[in-house]
Amino acid sequence: MPYKIMIVDDEPANLRALERVFSLDYEVITAGSGAEALDILKQQDIAVLITDQRMPAMTGIDLLKRSVSLRPRMVRIILTGYSDIEALVEAINSGQVYKYVTKPWSNEDLKLLVRRALEHYENSKQHYELELANQRLSQRLREIQQLATLD
Partner 1 sequence: MDESKEGRILPSHDAALEDLPILVVDDEKVVRQTFVECLGEHYDCVGAADSEEALTHLASRQFALAILDVQMPGLSGIELLRKITKDFPETAVIMVSGVGRAQRVVDALRLGAFEYLIKPCDLDVLELAVERALERRALLRTSKSYKVDLERRNKKLERQKAELERLQAQLVHSEKMASLGQLASGVAHELNNPAGFILSNMETLRNYTTALEQLLKFYDTVSLTPDHSIRAAAIKEDIRYEKLMHDLSLLIADCQEGASRLCDIVKNLRTFSRLDEAEFKKVHIHEGIDSTIRLLSRYYSSDHLSLERQYGELPPIDCFAGQLNQVWMNLLVNAAQAIGDREGRVKIETQLQGETVVVSISDTGDGIATENLNRIFDPFFTTKPVGEGTGLGLFTTYSIVKRHGGTISAESHSGKGTIFTVVLPLNVKRETVTTEGKR
- The binding site for partner 1 (CB under 8 A) comprises 11, 13-14, 16-18, 20-21, 81-83, 85, 102-108
Residue 12 vs 126, nearer CB to partner 1: 12
Helix (H) and strand (E) counts in the chain = 5, 5
In whole angstroms, the minimum distance from the beta carbon of 29 to partner 1 comes to 18
In whole angstroms, the minimum distance from the beta carbon of 9 to partner 1 comes to 9
Distances (CA, A) of 99 to 57, 132, 135: 22, 27, 31
Residue 83 vs 94, nearer CB to partner 1: 83
Residue 1 vs 85, nearer CB to partner 1: 85
Instruction: Quote the Cα angle for 78-47-77, to 5°.
Output: 10
Angle between helices 85-93 and 60-70 (to 10 degrees): 20
Residue 72 vs 104, nearer CB to partner 1: 104
DSSP letter at 46 equals -
In whole angstroms, the minimum distance from the beta carbon of 78 to partner 1 comes to 14
In whole angstroms, the minimum distance from the beta carbon of 73 to partner 1 comes to 28
DSSP letter at 13 equals H
